[in-house]
């Protein structure tokens, strides 16, 4: 007896939401040291292509490909970050924007490896592979009361949920460690942080490559959730979309970007007419947020207020 209310489409929206949340986290990490990166779409591209190519061309198991994709994107982050972090804000933004465009140009032009503008098709989809493996072990989705497509969508969603929860938990913890405090100090005043003995360049590169790694992870998971990727998925617009998550949700706290990514993924789903004007809305949001609430919807004072309110409710 299948569970009728479990709609694969909703689960798919949920999966994309989780990937966007990861992207939101990725830009938050770099922003938490006061650096604006517009290259996260490029890092995502590296992660996605690495994972997709390793599984389609080398037959590597999916988890290994995803891990390698994230690691490679993170290493690219070190390579890009090390020199460009000597640059201050605006220059870094443009240099990383340029990096993203170069990566995309490589993806379009290196046809023998990347399939050019057509992209990589038939990337093994996590849910389907899991289902096939379980079927070999004698499991049928019907046993759990699910139709196959429900099972596939549900397993992808749950895998992404677990990964996203882990990543968020990790970076929430990081905020309270020496590393997180160093990030905050650098964001507030780089020179003061340096005077206090914080190795600024080290922490900036660390934050930058952590962000790149999370972008790469998101890209790799994206490739194995959709089973088709092309350079079109990783354009400048993607980078701007990621930026909007952090700017709208709030760049002062990790949960701000998470909220931003979730809200802006659900908005076009909830309001159909919005989806046609989605990018125009994003543009308008960026301008309005910068004028009226540059710190984003969720900022640390708001979180503290919410926290206090909850504490008062349950003494």
Partner 1 sequence: MFLEQAINGITLGGIYAIVALGYTLVFGVLGIINMAHGEIFMFGAFVGMLLVSKAGVPLPVAFLGAIAAAASMGLLLDRFALRPLRKRPGASHLASLISTIGVSILLENAAHRIFGAGNHLFETPFSDIRFQAGSVTVYLVQAAILGISLLMMAGLSLWLSRTRAGKALRATAENLETAGLLGVDTNRMITATVVIASAMGGVAGVLVGMAFNFINNRIGLSMGLKGLAIIIFGGMGSVYGAMAGGLILGLSETFVVAYGPAGYRDAIAFVTIIVVLLVRPQGLFGQAVSDGKP
Binding site for partner 1 (CB under 8 A): 36, 83-84, 86-91, 93-95, 97-99, 101-102, 105-106, 108-109, 236-237, 240, 243, 247, 277, 279-280, 282-287, 289-291, 294
The answer to whether 231 touches 107, Cβ cutoff 8 Å, is yes
Closest distance to partner 1 from the beta carbon of 275 (Å): 12
Which CB atom, from 141 or from 260, has the smaller least distance to partner 1?
260
Closest distance to partner 1 from the beta carbon of 39 (Å): 11
Closest distance to partner 1 from the beta carbon of 293 (Å): 11
- Give the HSE-up count for residue 32: Cα atoms under 13 Å, Cβ half-sphere: 32
Which CB atom, from 108 or from 134, has the smaller least distance to partner 1?
108
**Distance between first and last Cα of the chain:** 45
Which CB atom, from 98 or from 148, has the smaller least distance to partner 1?
98
Report the distance separating Cα 261 and Cα 284, nearest Å: 16
Closest distance to partner 1 from the beta carbon of 80 (Å): 8
Report the distance separating Cα 76 and Cα 83, nearest Å: 12
Which CB atom, from 162 or from 280, has the smaller least distance to partner 1?
280
Which CB atom, from 34 or from 127, has the smaller least distance to partner 1?
34
- Can you read off the two tokens belonging to residue 162? 């677990």
What sign does the CA torsion over 183, 184, 189, 192 have?
A: negative
Report the distance separating Cα 24 and Cα 256, nearest Å: 9
Backbone angles phi, psi at 61, to 5 degrees: -60, 150
Closest distance to partner 1 from the beta carbon of 191 (Å): 9
């Amino acid at each position: 007896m299948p569970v009728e209310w479990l709609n694969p489409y909703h689960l798919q929206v949920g999966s994309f939401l989780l990937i966007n949340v990861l992207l939101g986290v990725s830009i938050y990490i770099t922003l938490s040291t006061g650096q604006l990166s517009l290259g996260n779409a490029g890092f995502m591209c590296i992660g996605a292509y690495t994972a997709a190519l390793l599984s389609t061309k080398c037959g590597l198991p999916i988890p290994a490909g995803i891990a390698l994709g994230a690691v490679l994107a993170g290493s690219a982050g070190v390579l890009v970050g090390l020199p460009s972090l000597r640059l201050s804000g605006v220059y870094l933004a443009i240099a990383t924007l340029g990096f993203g465009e170069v990566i995309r140009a490589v993806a379009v032009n290196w046809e023998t490896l990347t399939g050019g503008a057509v992209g990589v098709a038939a990337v093994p989809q996590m849910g389907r592979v899991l289902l096939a493996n379980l079927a070999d072990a004698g499991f049928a989705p019907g046993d759990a009361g699910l139709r196959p497509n429900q099972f596939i969508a549900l397993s992808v969603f749950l895998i992404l949920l677990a990964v996203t929860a882990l990543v968020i938990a990790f970076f929430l913890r990081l905020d309270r460690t020496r590393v997180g405090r160093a990030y905050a100090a650098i964001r507030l005043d780089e020179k003061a942080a340096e005077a206090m003995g914080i190795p600024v360049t080290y922490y900036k590169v660390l934050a930058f490559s952590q962000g790149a790694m999370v972008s790469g992870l998101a890209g790799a998971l994206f490739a194995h959730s959709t089973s088709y990727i092309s350079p079109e998925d990783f354009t400048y617009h993607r980078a701007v979309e990621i930026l909007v998550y952090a700017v709208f949700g709030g760049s002062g706290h990790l949960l701000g970007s998470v909220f931003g990514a979730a809200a802006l993924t659900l908005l076009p789903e909830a309001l159909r007419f919005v989806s046609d004007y989605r990018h125009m809305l994003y543009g308008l949001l960026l301008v309005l947020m910068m004028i009226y609430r540059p710190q984003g919807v969720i900022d640390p004072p708001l979180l503290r207020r919410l926290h206090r309110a909850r504490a008062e409710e349950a003494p």
